[in-house]
Chains A and B, each alone.
Chain A
Amino acid sequence: MEILLSGQLLVAALIIGSIYGLVALGLNLIYGTMRLLNIAHGDLVMIGAYTGYWLFTLAAVSPVLAMLAAGALAGLTGAALYFGLFRRQLAGSQPIERIEANSLLIFFGISIVIQNLTALAFTASPRTYQALDTLVRIGEVSIAQSRLVALAVCLGLSAAIVLFLRFSALGLSIRALIQHRTASRIVGIDVDRVQAFSFVLGFALAGLAGTLIGVTEQISPFMGFPFTIVAFVVIILGGLGNLAGGIAAGMVLGLIETYGVALTSANLRSVLIYGVFILVLVLRPEGLLQRRRLT
């Protein structure tokens, strides 16, 4: 029981929660603005992890810098996919529900292609590397520098994005597009520009988070899928398209996972995550943190 009260466990939960929040934020942005279900989201985490690995192994680049390169690489991937594939679909006359259903299949294909190309290029065997591994002591708690960096970057970026959405004109346009697509067109929002921005930002966030994840976890071509699942659980918890709610939901899931595993066993991690997912879908399908509509 003592371990449950330790600061160590709480910090571990906050770190995982902040990472989940940031990964899910990218997925939520893309779903919210375009109703695209990006099943390949976790594969961008994987791309970010490999970027960090190779930059460190080949050129001794710190993950703190590598994460920027990973964000840029994932963002470019996003730009290529948006302008090459999704822009035409979204501009066409088909209903958004059909695009939503199609996007699931398209991204499923993209996911398989990314995973297998990575396996071909770098083999399927898991890799790890040692970077930022000095232990930092804060009071009773000691944590690896890499995890502290992950916590700071994820919380800082999430907060920055929430402020950006609240106070900038582009952020206002993004929230408007999430809430009402037709009304957004009526007021003269440049929908194509907002979509492209959201797509690229969503991808970049996943890539950037991937570098931070790759420092502490095993890297393999197939590491992404669990993050896709976690991200979907988080955005359903927080409410689809509710960006700030998703960040809070990431924390909630991090706490549930960490304390749940400490109370039971690490083998039950997936059971816990899917359990939360199913419970929320049954009890509050509009999301745990979503305001209920009055009208």
Chain B
Amino acid sequence: MSGGALLEVGGLAGGYGPLRVLHGVDFAVPAGRIAALVGGNGAGKTTTMAMLAGLLAPSAGTIRYKGEAVDSWSPAQRVAAGLVLVPEGRLVFPDMTVEENLRLGAIGRQARPHTAEGLETVYGRFPRLAERRRQAAGTLSGGEQQMLALGRGLMSRPHLLLLDEPSLGLAPVMVDLIFDAIGDLAGAGMTILLSEQNVGLSLELAERAYVLENGAIALSGSGRDLLGNAEVQRAYLGL
């Protein structure tokens, strides 16, 4: 592990079939911190996240997690090692209850023995989910589904939480709630990679930030530096 980075990505490239989305992306996520991957729609944030989770094979580049190359690992192996994705669009299991969704977060052999304490933690953090534990996930509001997706990710006992567009499509009050939860998690020592279109909010939270444009990193620095960067202000913050 070099320089305390939990995740190091080098030269990541590829896409879907003939469509190349990423053209060599490099970044690192420091242990115990929030790193943000910001950029507009279509910049390649979700593609990057899918490759990190093992859902999509890159055509080039390496992903090192805890100092180990995980490129050939299956999604299940990555989850077992604590590399856990909370996907864009939530992707909850719509016809299953809230509790079944959470149980599925702990379906891996490592997390399963800790299901009961995991449920207690998640219900403690999101009392709304506890009230709706027997309700089908498909009947929840968008914000509640985002809580559920985040809770499901926590059930996997992550070391690095990959949060893909957690604020997308949510009402402002829900965005605040979700970002509060993200801040709390980081405060408790969780390492987080946050991908967001909500550039302002993410940069405020992030220790380290990368601006992704057209499948490559255009800018990087501390969140505060990028917040003060004239180009970022013009392109993403509407200042």
Residues of A within 8 A of B (CB): 93, 169, 172-173, 175-176, 179-180, 182-191, 291, 293-295
Q: Does B93 have its Cβ within 8 Å of any Cβ on chain A?
A: yes
Q: Considering the chains assembled together, what is the distance between the CA atoms of A64 and B182 in angstroms?
A: 58
Q: What A residues does B100 contact at CB under 8 A?
A: 172
Name the residue of chain A whose CB is nearest to the CB of B75.
Answer: A185
Tell me whether B55 and A182 are in contact (CB under 8 A): yes
Tell me whether A179 and B107 are in contact (CB under 8 A): no
Q: Does B138 have its Cβ within 8 Å of any Cβ on chain A?
A: yes
Q: Considering the chains assembled together, what is the distance between the CA atoms of A235 and B168 in angstroms?
A: 37
Tell me whether A185 and B55 are in contact (CB under 8 A): yes
Tell me whether A293 and B138 are in contact (CB under 8 A): yes
Q: Shortest CB–CB separation between residue B14 and chain A, in angstroms?
A: 11
Q: What A residues does B39 contact at CB under 8 A?
A: none
Contact with A along B92-105 (1 / 0, CB 8 A): 11111000100111
Tell me whether B138 and A187 are in contact (CB under 8 A): no
Name the residue of chain A whose CB is nearest to the CB of B95.
Answer: A179
Contact with A along B27-58 (1 / 0, CB 8 A): 00000000000000000000000000111010
B79-87, B117-125, B200-208, B213-221: which lies at the A interface?
B79-87
Q: Can you give 10 contacting A-B residue pairs, CB < 8 Å?
A: A93-B57, A173-B104, A179-B93, A183-B93, A187-B79, A187-B108, A188-B76, A190-B74, A293-B94, A294-B139
Count how many chain B residues have C-beta atoms less than 8 Å from C-beta atoms of the other chain: 32
Q: Does B152 have its Cβ within 8 Å of any Cβ on chain A?
A: yes
Q: What A residues does B87 contact at CB under 8 A?
A: 182-183, 186
Q: How many A-B residue pairs have CB under 8 A?
A: 74
Supply 13 further A-B pairs (C-beta < 8 A) apart from A187-B79, A188-B75.
Answer: A172-B100, A176-B104, A179-B95, A180-B94, A182-B87, A183-B92, A185-B54, A186-B87, A187-B108, A188-B76, A188-B108, A188-B156, A295-B139
Q: What A residues does B78 contact at CB under 8 A?
A: 188
Tell me whether B79 and A188 are in contact (CB under 8 A): yes
Q: What B residues does A187 contact at CB under 8 A?
A: 79, 104-105, 107-108, 152, 156
Q: Does B132 have its Cβ within 8 Å of any Cβ on chain A?
A: no
Q: What B residues does A183 contact at CB under 8 A?
A: 87, 91-93
Query: Given the interface contacts A172-B100, A294-B138, does A190 sit within 8 Å of B76 by beta carbon?
Result: yes
Residues of B within 8 A of A (CB): 17, 53-55, 57, 74-76, 78-80, 84-85, 87, 91-96, 100, 103-105, 107-108, 111-112, 138-139, 152, 156
Q: What A residues does B85 contact at CB under 8 A?
A: 186
Q: What B residues does A185 contact at CB under 8 A?
A: 53-55, 75-76
Tell me whether A295 and B94 are in contact (CB under 8 A): yes
Tell me whether B96 and A179 are in contact (CB under 8 A): yes
Q: Shortest CB–CB separation between residue B140 and chain A, in angstroms?
A: 9
Q: Considering the chains assembled together, what is the distance between the CA atoms of A93 and B56 in angstroms?
A: 9
- Cross-chain contact of A173 among B79, B107, B156 (Cβ < 8 A): B107
Q: Considering the chains assembled together, what is the distance between the CA atoms of A183 and B149 in angstroms?
A: 10
Q: Considering the chains assembled together, what is the distance between the CA atoms of A189 and B80 in angstroms?
A: 10
Q: Shortest CB–CB separation between residue A260 and chain B, in angstroms?
A: 32
Q: Shortest CB–CB separation between residue B154 and chain A, in angstroms?
A: 12
Q: What B residues does A182 contact at CB under 8 A?
A: 55, 87, 91
Q: What A residues does B75 contact at CB under 8 A?
A: 185-186, 188
Q: Considering the chains assembled together, what is the distance between the CA atoms of A183 and B76 in angstroms?
A: 11
Q: Shortest CB–CB separation between residue A190 and chain B, in angstroms?
A: 5
Q: What A residues does B95 contact at CB under 8 A?
A: 179, 291
Tell me whether B55 and A179 are in contact (CB under 8 A): no
- Cross-chain contact of A172 among B76, B84, B92, B103 (Cβ < 8 A): B103
Q: Shortest CB–CB separation between residue B170 and chain A, in angstroms?
A: 15
Q: What B residues does A188 contact at CB under 8 A?
A: 75-76, 78-80, 84, 107-108, 111, 156
Q: Considering the chains assembled together, what is the distance between the CA atoms of A182 and B88 in angstroms?
A: 12
Q: What A residues does B54 contact at CB under 8 A?
A: 185
Q: Shortest CB–CB separation between residue A254 and chain B, in angstroms?
A: 26
Tell me whether A189 and B139 are in contact (CB under 8 A): no
Q: Considering the chains assembled together, what is the distance between the CA atoms of A173 and B79 in angstroms?
A: 15
Q: Shortest CB–CB separation between residue A56 and chain B, in angstroms?
A: 43
Q: Considering the chains assembled together, what is the distance between the CA atoms of A179 and B85 in angstroms?
A: 18
Q: What A residues does B152 contact at CB under 8 A?
A: 187
